[in-house]
Structure 1
Amino acid sequence: MLPSPEMAAAVAAAGGLATALRGLWEEVNEAPAWQDGAFVSLSAAYALVSAVALVQLIRIQVRVPEFGWTTQKVFHLMNFIVNGFRAIVFGFHAHVFLFQTKVYTLVLLDLPGLLFFSTYTLLVLFWAEIYHQAKNLPTDKLRIIYLSVNGVIYVIQICIWIYLGTNDNPLLKPVSKIFISVVSLLAILGFLIYGGRLFFMLRHLPFVSNMKGRRKKLYEVGTVTSICFTCFLIRCIVVAVSSFHPDLSLEVLDHPILDFFYYMLTEILPSALVLFILRKLPPKQVSSLHRPIR
């Protein structure tokens, strides 16, 4: 059956709108003003988050100067480094994205992503230690597992970078992206397992005198788990899809809008929210939850 004139007109109008939107999208992506605006905005946002992490680190050090590098201090230090690194990279975006040897661009864009993984899985380690202590389970191997997993990830990624720098194999670039996606999946599993376990353990604790403190801890663990789960899930999906669709590539200068929303949703907003939620300073008499890293 032939389509009615009204249906044909609607289809034609929809096709024309799609063509116009695609043309506008390409025009925006290729405009130097949009590129500079998006990446400079990212640089400024990362610099702000980095400064907040540094201020919080200084506040903690002033509050408890007698203790060494606690898990809390290391977390804020790593946030300062990761976000500062990103701020510098996007501040010099015009040079970063135009390297003749593309592996340099990949290193400058992917290394902060790995450091972001190490920073936020430090929370998983922290919660795992609390959970194991509460259940009278051994905790001595948790830090070894954390360091080993991170070490293996960095070694594999460095090997991929070296191979990409010495061999012009177009098949390995998608493999590198899929590896980043798998790393994000590991973070998701970590937050689900230990964030979820700690949340439900706190929720089902018998009546305690400090009910307000328990509610605050429930809110903290539940909210941070949800934020981190969401940001790593977005990263996992977007990076995996971009490995098969060049139009969604994050390593090029002419995708400023995609890059802006990707980094805003997967790193800047999650970092800002988590730093806000964990803004509380430790008590002057530091508890075992803020013990120094040995």
Structure 2
Amino acid sequence: MGRLAYVNGRYVPHAQAMVHVEDRGYQFADGVYEVVPVIDGVLIDEEPHLDRLGYSLGELRIAWPVSRNVLKLILRELVRRNGLRRGIVYFQVTRGVAPRDHKFPAKVKSALVVTTKRMNPPSEAMLRDGVAVSSQPDIRWTRRDIKSLSLLPNILAKQAATEAKAFEAWLVGPDGTVTEGSSTNAWIVKNGAVITYPKSHDILGGITRLSLLELVQKTGVTLVERGFTLKEALEADEAFLTSSSAFLLPVTSIDGQNIGNGKPGPISEKLRAIYLENVARQIGAAK
């Protein structure tokens, strides 16, 4: 059997998975989504991802399409049916199907779509040499804490970074402060301190970011949650990014300028190792 998707109560062949033309996610980006990494068939950091889904739904006043426990069963069943060992499970919830009108429809059932995707871990070259980042202006709306389907500014930034031969875009506000990446959170290291933008409406509260914050505090490494400028990033000793798909990747150049000595730094490598130990514990507990 080929790859399957889950669409509003049915497991269907991925190629035949469809939503209604008047689904508000399609017409208005009126919905939210989550991406959970899967390793050895285990969903990593599942509970925090579901917590964030609940937060995003609440902020947009969209009802859960199914209960939290039922959603967990659906995620696991799709992972099982697709034989997914390593990759991601993607799920999105929209306000539902209704005649096109900007205001909320009076009676509508929220819609749920779930898919899976096989993905390889970051390459040895990326871990050995780090990745490049391109700075781009942050032109997004002011509720970036909601994991909304509306990602056009992020797409434009990512494409600009790709055309600059960079792995990721770091988004810079009018005051020169780096908020986050187009699909990652941004971090720097200076004088032994790990610095990252504080949780607020300005950034998406990354789940890997959240886990790493907790782990950093247990290592004795100094943690500072504050904004940093692009100039500070260029002058940092180390830099790295975090995301659910890549976990932690060292950033060794920004806009073509080397960070530190242009190689992954010791704190970045230490934190990646600590995070992978955390992932291994989750896998062990699930077996």
Q: Same fold (TM over 0.5)?
A: no
TM-score by length of 1: 0.30
Look at both structures and tell me which one has the larger radius of gyration over its CA atoms.
1
TM-score by length of 2: 0.30
Larger helix fraction of residues:
1
Larger strand fraction of residues:
2
